[in-house]
Amino acid sequence: MKRICRRGPAFYLFLFLSAIVVFIFTYRNFSSTHLSSLFEAPFEDTKPVRALAIELHPKEHIRRLPTSLTHHWNITEGVRAPDGVNKTVYLINGEFPGPTIEARTGDQLIVVVSNQLKKGEGVAIHWHGLHMKGANHMDGVVGVTQKDIPAGEEFTYKFEISKTQAGTFWYHSHSELQRADGLYGGLVIHRRFEQGFSESDNFDYEDDRLLLVGDWYHRSAADVQASYLQSRNSENEPVPDSLLINGLGSFNCSTVVHLVECKDVRRPSMKMSPGSTRLRVVNVGAMSGFNLTLESGNMRVIKIDGGNDVVPSASVESVGILYPGERVDIISDGPGNSLTIALDLENFHCPEQVFTAIQTFAIEQPKKQAGHRAIGPMPESAGQTILVYTHIEMPAHDDQVTIGYMNQTNWIPQVEPLLYVPREQWDNHQFMPTVKATEDWVDIVVNNFDDQGHPFHLHGHDFYVLTRHEFPRADIKPYNPFDPPSQFSSLSEPLLYPRPNLENPPLKDTIYIPKHGYVILRIRADNIGVWFFHCHIVWPMVTRLAMGLDVR
Ligand SMILES: *[C@@H]1O[C@H](CO)[C@@H](O)[C@H](O)[C@H]1NC(C)=O
Ligand SMILES: *[C@@H]1O[C@H](CO)[C@@H](O)[C@H](O)[C@H]1NC(C)=O
Ligand SMILES: *[C@@H]1O[C@H](CO)[C@@H](O)[C@H](O)[C@H]1NC(C)=O
Ligand SMILES: *[C@@H]1O[C@H](CO)[C@@H](O)[C@H](O)[C@H]1NC(C)=O
Ligand SMILES: *[C@@H]1O[C@H](CO)[C@@H](O)[C@H](O)[C@H]1NC(C)=O
């Protein structure tokens, strides 16, 4: 279904009012330009003004024995102006984004979360990408693995980080829209020093930095969602206003379209010491993918989504598009270049309103290449195959809202989390196929009928991406693994389905499923529990594009 940007009389009234606002702000800025340039002139390079990168401390973790790390978190709300525009955001111990957790493989994490939000507002925290083996009940999904933590109460998350997981992860609220209003933070697991080598030896870098990058809305997520769900606007995904890195950004106040108080702030910059740097990039956004490029420099991608497999690491200029929830670890070499982050326009149907930001980073000398390792070939077929379809139902009447379906089910959380309720008592909004916990492979085939792509995240497991394909036209028959294998493309029939990659498929935990397309994901269902599998964009997530795997 083709979507268009609908514009009613209200839009034109809005445009007229915006023009007045823009005029007022432009006038105001003219009168304040002189003052602000005076203020910025004596800027000293040695002073870390709004420095971007979060510095990581692998040396404090890689040579010690596994231990138990305890954090106490108070979750509150407060006003911050990350890009010069005030917004009420969530704070963890007064910080936005929340404090970065650093640990090593095999550590136990204890996070005591005290919900100090206003009455009626619950919270739950998900540890994105961690396997949570033996700790399904700590996975943080309201309605699936826990009830939300009510305001005024405390909940202790306690789990072990597996001895095989190391890499770039993050945590975020899994309770409605809070992620889009800033309830997230970084979670980095350092690999222990092994056989005389650290990861920085293997990949040849000196510094380790975290970049939490994402789109940003000036209105509260509740407001954005309300206008999205209103049938008049439901066909146009909400366009973000800004872009933040580690909770910092800059917004050009003279381009303001919504009624906001705005203060021009200098675009933040990143300092790096001489030597090459590992940049761990996380898309913490609500909706947009982004493309990350190095101007006239080079970078090597070494990992994706915290997976243990090392990605073939030729020098690249861009890493392609990173969608919400996805991570990429890169090594940057080469001094004095700039790093460009551009929001992807594909999912916006009114892209003329999209804001794009450029951020600048200093980069140092190139060094030698790191090696890479390939996984062994996989069997042709898996022991079990799960086939699902996703689609978004458009409103038939003006008063209905858009709803996302996995097969015929739109997910609504049960009051009692599934983990604590026998399967017979799950209601029919729970689509959680049963998977036998074995050492065998399980394939998950997801066909997306929507005219928009969706990043999906699977909890508790990594998956190999055997196929990701977008059909050239909307009318092509979706992929059905139960049809005979002659369905794969050949020279004479190039329009059919590509052959799955069984040689060196990437290992991930979040995957972008293209519009009119499909993915084949292969997991080892070796982690018993109920594991959520859902669209990681905040807005359609709320329209219930979610299911799960009941691994038993
Ligand atoms: C959390 O809040 C409690 C109660 O207000 C306070 O005693 C404690 O110091 C706070 N902890 C942190 C880390 O801010
Ligand atoms: C801000 O936007 C205005 C109007 O589009 C433009 O003229 C100006 O150059 C922009 N300023 C910056 C710093 O980008
Ligand atoms: C943001 O809010 C603070 C108070 O919370 C106020 O002092 C400040 O002027 C506001 N700034 C803008 C740009 O609206
Ligand atoms: C990312 O940006 C670079 C440079 O602007 C461009 O060459 C490349 O095609 C983009 N990649 C994608 C996947 O859009
Ligand atoms: C999802 O729906 C398709 C089409 O009806 C069906 O073939 C498939 O078995 C369903 N998947 C599951 C896991 O029930």
CA distance 353 to 258: 11
CB 522 within 8 A of CB 463: yes
Class of domain 384-551 (CATH, top level): mainly beta
| CATH fold label, 54-194 | Immunoglobulin-like (2.60.40)
Domain 207-364, architecture per CATH: Sandwich (2.60)
Q: Measuring CA to CA, which residue among 544, 540, 375, 547 is closest to residue 446?
A: 547
Average of per-residue pLDDT values in the chain: 81
User: Which has the higher per-residue pLDDT, 5 or 293?
Assistant: 293
What is the model's pLDDT at position 21? 40
Taking the centre of ligand 3 as the mean of its atom positions, its distance from the CA of residue 97, in whole angstroms, is 19
93 lines ligand 1 (CB under 6 A): yes
Model confidence band, residue 538 (pLDDT cutoffs 50, 70, 90): confident
Tell me the average pLDDT across 207-230.
88
What is the model's pLDDT at position 309? 65
Q: What is the pLDDT of residues 365-400, one digit of tens each?
A: 333 333 335 455 688 889 999 999 998 877 666 556
CA distance 106 to 166: 9
Q: What is the pLDDT of residues 512-533, one digit of tens each?
A: 999 999 999 999 988 999 999 9
* Residue 550: count of CB within 10 angstroms of its CB: 18
Angle at 462 between CA 384 and CA 479, to 5 degrees: 45
What is the model's pLDDT at position 4? 42
Report the DSSP beta bridge partners of residue 512: 455
What is the model's pLDDT at position 319? 81
97 cis-preceded (ω within 30 degrees of 0): yes
| Domains 207-364 and 384-551 agree in fold | yes
Beta strand 327-333 with 298-304 is: antiparallel
72 lines ligand 1 (CB under 6 A): yes
**pLDDT of 357 above 70:** no
Taking the centre of ligand 4 as the mean of its atom positions, its distance from the CA of residue 97, in whole angstroms, is 28
Q: Where do the domains of the chain lie?
A: 1-40, 54-194, 207-364, 384-551
CB 317 within 8 A of CB 347: no
Q: Give the number of the atom of ligand 2 that is nearest the alpha carbon of residue 252.
A: 1
**pLDDT of 359 above 70:** no
Taking the centre of ligand 3 as the mean of its atom positions, its distance from the CA of residue 88, in whole angstroms, is 11
* Residue 375: count of CB within 10 angstroms of its CB: 14
**pLDDT of 240 above 60:** yes
User: Which has the higher per-residue pLDDT, 362 or 190?
Assistant: 190
**pLDDT of 170 above 90:** yes
Among protein residues, the one with the nearest Cα to ligand 4's atom 11 is 320
